[in-house]
Every structure is written in C-alpha cells, then in structure tokens.
Amino acid sequence: MTLRVLSYNVRALRDDAKAAGRAIAVCETDVACLQEMPRFAGWRWRRRVLARRCGLVAAVNRRAGGLAILVRPAIRVLHTEHWLLYRYPRLHRRALSLAVLDVGGRPVVVGCTHLDLDDRARSHHAQEVLAHLTATATRYSAPAVLAGDINCAPDGPAWRLLASELRDSGAESPRGEALTFPAREPRARIDGVFVTREMTVCGSGVPVDLVAPADLTRASDHRPVLAEIETP
C-alpha cells in the first residue's frame, strides 16, 4: 500500500498560516509530521484550525517539543508515544513523537522529530530517536518512517547517523526539488524523511509540482518534503 508522508517545519504558523494549510492540503498526504507547531498563547486552537484546513486529524499533538502528527481521518491510530529527549541546559527542549498506524491492515510506525542547532545535542538526540523508533518498531514487528527537521545537511554527523540505520528517501528516489531551507532562497537540505529497509521509496522531495510557489515562500522559512512510500 502507498503511504504519502509529509515533513514540514511550519515555524509556529508565524508567517502565513493559511498558506501553510494550503501547502499541506494540496499534497493529499496520509500523514503530516509537523515541527515547530504553536506552543504558546492559543496553541490548541491554532493547531485545530490548521488540521481542519488540511482535512486531517491529530494522532499526536503535544506541546513539549512543538511536534504534531496529523493523519487522514480514515487511518486508524493503534498507539502513540511522545518522548522528551535529553535536556541540555540553555537549549530548546527536543522531543520525538511516534504513532503506530494501521496501514492496509498492518502496523506502520511513524516518527516526527526536530533536532537541535547545537552539534553535540543534535548527534546525541539522533541516537535517542533511533533507539526509541527501533524499540517501537520491534515491539509491533512493523516498518518505520522518521520525518523531521534534522538541522544539518546530509554530510553532517546526525544525518549520517540516521542514514546509517535508516534509508534517506530523498537521496534514494529524488522527486521534485531537494533543498528545503531557507524557503525564499533554498541553499540546504536539512529536512528529510527516512525509512526502514523493507519499505520501497517511490519518490521524495519538495513538492514544487503541487504547492504554489507563493505558498512555498509565504507559509514558513522551510519548504516541505513529501515522500511516497510503498509499505510491505
């Protein structure tokens, strides 16, 4: 079965929230893994409005770490987890959200994370993310997807660590454009979708063929990554 997974840092919806909603909705995604979701005044309401605009519902929607996993209403959520990663003094609190979804009658684990700007914290948190993702996938005998803002390019230690255990969908089967940041003049690929070995990547990249150019630049300082994956 084909699963469309979107990874998107929406910058707390501080830019054009309607454009962000359109960008997500037009991708007709099954699962949207969102980073930097609103965390302060009115955060629940602002998240609900975005989900309605996208035609999705929340599977995981936690304030700590600013993460959310939204899914199509028809997808059954079997289990959810939210892990706070090791806290480094004076740095933002980082987290990992996990949702075990029923995809065509089989469980699939989907993870969403946002790693730190600090090199040491980012590498440490990448190890924690892999450990939690692997443990949940093993417990459910399920393939897994990890989507997130990695905050480093593919040649960075944290990205290399993730790609050593998982497959980098954008490198394996590129589609659309690769660069994700900054949205107005993209120079780096720091957002990605990773999958376990048993999955087949049909295509992955910035969906420039689907999202209007104006929405790509107005919605956030990042561009979204859409991965189309065949689950076993």
CATH code at position 31: 3.60.10.10
So what's the pLDDT on residue 73?
A: 98
Share of the chain above pLDDT 90, in %: 100
Report angle CA 147, 202, 149 to the nearest 5 degrees: 15
Give how many domains the chain has, as a whole number: 1
> Taking the model in full, what pTM does it have?
0.98
Domain that holds residue 37: 2-230
Share of the chain above pLDDT 70, in %: 100
Mean pLDDT of 98-126: 98
Both structure tokens of 32: 């949207």
Q: 115 pLDDT band (50/70/90 cuts)?
A: very high
Which residue has 């087949």 as its token pair? 200
